[in-house]
Amino acid sequence: MAPPVRDGGELCGGPAGTGAPGAGVALQGRQGTGDRDPEHRQPASGVGIFPEHVVELHGNTTYARCIGCGTRYEIAWVKERFDETGMAPSCTACGAPVKSATISFGQSMPDDEMRRATELAQHCDLFLAIGSSLVVWPAAGFPVMARNCGARLVIINNEPTDQDDIADLVIRHDIGETLGPFVGN
Ligand SMILES: [Zn+2]
């Protein structure tokens, strides 16, 4: 049976199953600012995910950027200035505000990250959508895209999602308890 097609489904890069051998897994970050722990981005003892294998569609809270010219600032630098003045600092190069390097509603999505996530979704064998309500687009389009390109789709979330009916497996359970045994917790 052909996989269902929904909005957000796009042309696949090639026939299903022609991706690189092995289990390609597309990773989707959650919208928001409180769920990124830099400690968990360091692979340790052969377990974990290397930073270069993570596509952060919604940015990163471990550093800050000028919203005008894009100059990068360390969080410690921002905090120091904030503690002194009680205000977010301005960019030393252009004077625009400096904020954590996350994408806020209304800001456009980063081109390179979107391109990479699209490629991964189109060529993966298995797509795990973990702890997402799958309602924030365009990121919510990636599970659909992967499914339409032949990947198996597994959704792990406490609450029902709009995409449960196209998933191969839905695990409606706490993500920590579900995935803990697989990541050594
Ligand atoms: Zn600037």
Q: Phi-psi region for residue 2, left (φ > 0), alpha (ψ -120 to 50) or beta?
A: beta
Q: What does the domain layout of the chain look like in residue ranges?
A: 25-57+109-182, 59-102
- 0.85 cut: is pTM over it? no
**What spacing in Å lies between the alpha carbon of 154 and ligand 1's midpoint?**
41
Structural contact between residues 40 and 179, judged by C-beta atoms closer than 8 angstroms = no
By annotation, the residues acting in catalysis are 58
Q: Which three-class secondary structure state does DSSP give residue 72?
A: strand
Q: Does residue 10 have a pLDDT over 60?
A: no
Task: Report the mean per-residue pLDDT for the chain.
Answer: 77
Q: Are strands 25-26 and 169-171 parallel, antiparallel or unpaired?
A: unpaired
**What spacing in Å lies between the alpha carbon of 93 and ligand 1's midpoint?**
5
Q: Is 25-57+109-182 in CATH node 3.40.50.1220?
A: yes
- Tens digits of residue pLDDT in 126-172: 999 999 999 988 889 999 999 999 999 999 999 999 999 999 999 99
We find that the CATH architecture of domain 59-102 is 2-Layer Sandwich (3.30)
- Tens digits of residue pLDDT in 51-91: 778 888 877 778 888 888 989 999 889 989 889 988 889 99
